[in-house]
Amino acid sequence: MRLDTFDIRILHSLVEDGRASVETVAERIQLSPTATRRRIRRLEAQKVITGYRAELDPEQAGLEIRIHVLVKLQKRERSEIAQFERIVRDTPEIQSCDLVTGQFDYFLLIHLSSMKDYHQYLRQFLADNDAIGSIESNVVIGNIKRTQKLALVAGD
């Protein structure tokens, strides 16, 4: 699907403020409310916009430790991959999981309240998952940039 300039401006506006009314978005992008509403519905139907949700600050919610975890599976057999991915999907502490290239297979982002919790979590996670060959953990000590904005460019 090709996005035009108005689609991109709508997306940027909604990323900035997902609670903005259609009228507010229309005013920001200088398009009529009817056309803006139609475009938003199309973007939702085509799954470009997949939902609207509150953005939380993990630290303010008591989850002060953020850890990036690189995981290498022992074997890359379908059953082991499925087992690992099922555990990941069912584990609320894991905020995201990406399948990656390189030395490791997966890149996880985990939010927890303390290093003690991570120690307990890691022991349980390893015990529950025979598919894991190795793990490398990197504790985040600070954040330089965090955004939901996308570098979108209009198609031809």
Paired sense of beta strands 65-73 and 132-139, if any: antiparallel
On whether the CB atoms of residues 97 and 73 are closer than 8 A, the answer is no
29-63 pLDDT tens trace: 999 999 999 999 999 999 999 998 887 888 888 88
In this prediction the pTM is 0.74
Task: Name all domains of the chain by residue range, CATH numbers in brackets.
Answer: 5-45 (1.10.10), 65-139 (3.30.70.920)
On whether the CB atoms of residues 67 and 118 are closer than 8 A, the answer is yes
94-127 pLDDT tens trace: 999 999 999 999 999 999 999 999 999 888 887 7
DSSP 3-state assignment of 74? coil
HSE of 139 in the Cβ direction (CA atoms, 13 Å)? 11
